[in-house]
Amino acid sequence: MSISADAVRRSHEGRTNQARNARRLRGTAVASRVVLIVGGGIAGAAAGIALARAGIESMVCEASTAPRDDEGAFFNLAPNGIAVLRALDIEFVLDGIGFQNDRLVFHNERGRVLAETAVGGVTVMRGALSRRLRQVAQQRGVRFVFGRALETVRQHGEMVAHFADGTSVAASAVLGADGTHSRTRASLLPDAPRATYTGILNLGGVVQTDLAPTGRAMHMVFGRRAFFGYAVRPSGETY
Ligand SMILES: Cc1cc2nc3c(=O)[nH]c(=O)nc-3n(C[C@H](O)[C@H](O)[C@H](O)COP(=O)(O)OP(=O)(O)OC[C@H]3O[C@@H](n4cnc5c(N)ncnc54)[C@H](O)[C@@H]3O)c2cc1C
C-alpha cells in the first residue's frame, strides 16, 4: 500500500489544525455531541424537547440573566402551533393556562361583521407557556444556562459559540432560537436579509371589564390605521 505525498500533507495539516483548534478552545466548555440552542424562549424550549424526544442531548444558552416569565402579554396559539405541541406529545402544557377560541370574527371600523372563520386557537399568556415549556424541557434533561448572550458562531472542526461574557461552548450543531434579530443567523449567514421595522406597533394586555363575554370567539376590528383584537371571558377578564 502506498501513501501519497498529498495524503501525508493532508494528514499533517489535519493534525496542525487539530492542535490549533485545541489551543483556540482552551478554556472553552466542550460539549461535543451536544446541540447548542441559542435562546431560551418558546422556540428554544420546544426545540430542546424535540431533540430530547429524538435522543439528542441539548443545552440552551439564554441572554437574559433569569427567565422572563412575567414579561409580555398574551398571544393566540394558532392550530399550526397547537399541532406542533401535539406532534411533540406535550399538548398538556396548555392545561389550565389558556382558553380555547373556536372562531375569529372580523369587523370593520363601524363594527360591521366582514367575515367569520372557524379557525380558532388557544389564547395563552406568553410567559406561562414559556415557563411550562422550559419546565418540561428541563425535566427531559435539557440544560438551561442564563446570562449567556451569543456574539458569534464559528466552525473550528466543531461549531464553537462565543458569548459576550467571554465564555465559549463547542457543540456538534448550533440551533438559532434567538428571535427576530438573531445573532446566530447574522453570524452564520452574514448576507442574509436583516429584519427591518415595518412601522407597525403592537400593544397588548389583560384588564378587568364589565363588557359582555364574547363566548368562544376572538374579535378583530380593523380601523383605517389600526387594528384591535379582543376577547372577554365570563369573569370579565378582557384580553
Ligand atoms: C420577554 C418576551 C415577551 C414577549 N411577549 C409577547 C407577547 O406578549 N405577545 C406576543 O405575541 N409575542 C410576545 N413575544 C414574542 C414571542 O414570544 C415570539 O414572537 C414567539 O413566541 C416566537 O418565539 P421565539 O422563541 O422564536 O422568540 P422569542 O420569544 O423572541 O425568544 C428569543 C429568545 O432568545 C433570547 N436571545 C436573543 N438574543 C440572544 C443572544 N444573542 N444570545 C442568547 N439568547 C438570545 C431572548 O432573550 C429570548 O429569550 C415576547 C418575546 C419575549 C422575549
d(CA 184, ligand 1 centre) in Å: 14
* Residue, of 30 and 164, whose pLDDT is higher: 164
The pTM of this model reads 0.86
In a domain, 174, yes or no: yes
The model's pLDDT over 98-124, given as tens digits with 9 standing for 90+, comes to 999 999 999 999 999 999 999 889 999
In a domain, 151, yes or no: yes
Q: How far apart are CA 106 and CA 111, in angstroms?
A: 9
Q: What is the mean pLDDT of residues 138-149?
A: 98
Mutation choice for ligand 1 from 42, 59, 169, CB with most ligand atoms inside 8 A: 42
For residue 5, name the pLDDT band (cuts at 50, 70, 90).
Answer: very low
In a domain, 80, yes or no: yes
pLDDT at 120: 82
Number of domains in the chain: 1
In a domain, 125, yes or no: yes
**Is residue 150 predicted with pLDDT exceeding 80?**
yes
In a domain, 71, yes or no: yes
**Is residue 9 predicted with pLDDT exceeding 70?**
no
**Is residue 11 predicted with pLDDT exceeding 90?**
no
In a domain, 227, yes or no: yes
Lowest mean pLDDT among 2-11, 67-76, 102-111: 2-11
CATH number of the domain residue 164 falls in: 3.50.50.60
Pairing of strands 98-101, 29-38: unpaired
Residues with CB under 6 A from ligand 1: 38-44, 61-64, 68, 71-75, 126, 149-150, 177-179, 183, 204
pLDDT at 31: 53
Mutation choice for ligand 1 from 65, 126, 165, CB with most ligand atoms inside 8 A: 126
Structural domain that includes position 93 = 27-238
In a domain, 7, yes or no: no
The model's pLDDT over 178-210, given as tens digits with 9 standing for 90+, comes to 999 999 999 999 999 999 999 999 999 999 999
Which protein residue has the closest C-alpha to ligand 1 atom 5? 72
pLDDT at 156: 81
Percentage above 70 pLDDT, the chain: 87
pLDDT at 33: 76
d(CA 152, ligand 1 centre) in Å: 19
CA dihedral (24, 29, 30, 31) positive or negative: negative
CA dihedral (170, 175, 181, 187) positive or negative: positive
d(CA 12, ligand 1 centre) in Å: 45
Which protein residue has the closest C-alpha to ligand 1 atom 52? 72
In a domain, 19, yes or no: no
3-state per-residue secondary structure call for 45-72: HHHHHHHHHCCCCEEEEECCCCCCCCCC
d(CA 130, ligand 1 centre) in Å: 9
Q: Are 239 and 230 in contact (CB under 8 A)?
A: yes
Which protein residue has the closest C-alpha to ligand 1 atom 29? 41
Q: How far apart are CA 71 and CA 158, in angstroms?
A: 35
d(CA 126, ligand 1 centre) in Å: 9
d(CA 43, ligand 1 centre) in Å: 8
